[in-house]
Amino acid sequence: MTKSPPRTRIQVRNRAAILEAALEVFAARGFRGATLDRIAQAAGLSKPNLLYYFRSKEALHLAILEDLLELWLAPLREMDAEGEPREQILGYVRRKLEMSRDHPRESRLFANEILQGAPRARPVLEGELKALVDEKAAVIAAWSESGRIGPVDPYHLIFSIWALTQHYADFEVQVRAIMGKTNPYPGAEAWLDHLFGAALGSPHKSI
C-alpha cells in the first residue's frame, strides 16, 4: 500500500508537505470536492510531482486516514481500568475535547468519511474500533455494576462523548454563527464536566 519508508531528506520533506496540504483540503471539501491540483498547489508542488509521491488520490487519502485513526483512538486507549472510574471517564472527555480543539481538521476529515458511509474506513471501524470500544465498554459496565459510578449504558455514554466533543470541531461554523467570536472551548469544558459528572452520579450524593 504505502511506499516503503522514505529514505532521502527530500522525500521526508515533500511527503510531510503533501500530507499537511491534503489534510487541509480534504477536511475542507471532502474527498470528491478535493482536487489533486489544489492539494499540490497547497503543498508547493506540481500535480504530477505529487503523484510521484502518492500513486493516486485514493492512496493519499488512505495514508492520511491511517495516521488519523491512531491519533483518534489514543484518548480512549488511555482510559485505565485500574484508575478511579469518575476521574477516568471525565479525563477521557477532557482529552477528547482537547483533540477536537487542537485537531479540528482531522475531526472534519473523519466526519466526512463517516458521513459518506465510511467507504474507506469501514474495515477499521468494524475491526479495531469495535474491539477497543467493546473492551472499554466492559470496563465501564463493571464500574457501574460495582456501584462505583451510577447506572449508565456504556455504549451510549461513549457515543455521547464522541458526539459532543467532535461537534465543536465538525459544526464549528454553526457554533460560531451563534456564539460569535467567543471561544467556545472554555465554556464547553466546564459544561461537559457538569453534564457527564451529573450523569455518572454525583459523588456527593453517593455518600
Partner DNA sequence: CGTTAATTTTACCGGGCGGTCAAATCGAAG
Partner DNA sequence: CTTCGATTTGACCGCCCGGTAAAATTAACG
Least spacing, CB of residue 26 vs DNA, in Å = 10
Would you say 15 or 95 has its CB closer to DNA?
Answer: 15
Q: Which of 70, 87, 126, 145 binds its own copies (CB under 8 A)?
A: 126
d(CA 123, CA 152): 28
Determine the Cα–Cα distance for residues 203 and 181; give it in Å rounded to an integer. Answer: 35
Extract the C-alpha cell encoding 205: 450524593
157 binds its own copies (CB under 8 A): yes
CA distance 24 to 109: 9
Smallest gap, in angstroms, from Cβ of residue 112 to DNA? 14
What are the angstrom distances between the C-alpha of 20 and each of 15, 80, 85, 201? Answer: 9, 32, 37, 42
Element (H, E) at 4: none
Select from 51, 90, 91, 160 the one that contacts its own copies (CB under 8 A). 160
The reply to whether 138 sits near its own copies by the rule CB under 8 A is: no
Residue 205 contacts its own copies per CB under 8 A: yes
For residue 132, give the nearest of 101, 158, 152 by alpha carbon: 158
Per CB under 8 A, contacts with its own copies among 77-96 are none
- Point out which residues bind DNA (CB under 7 A): 7-11, 14, 34-37, 45-49, 51-52, 55-58
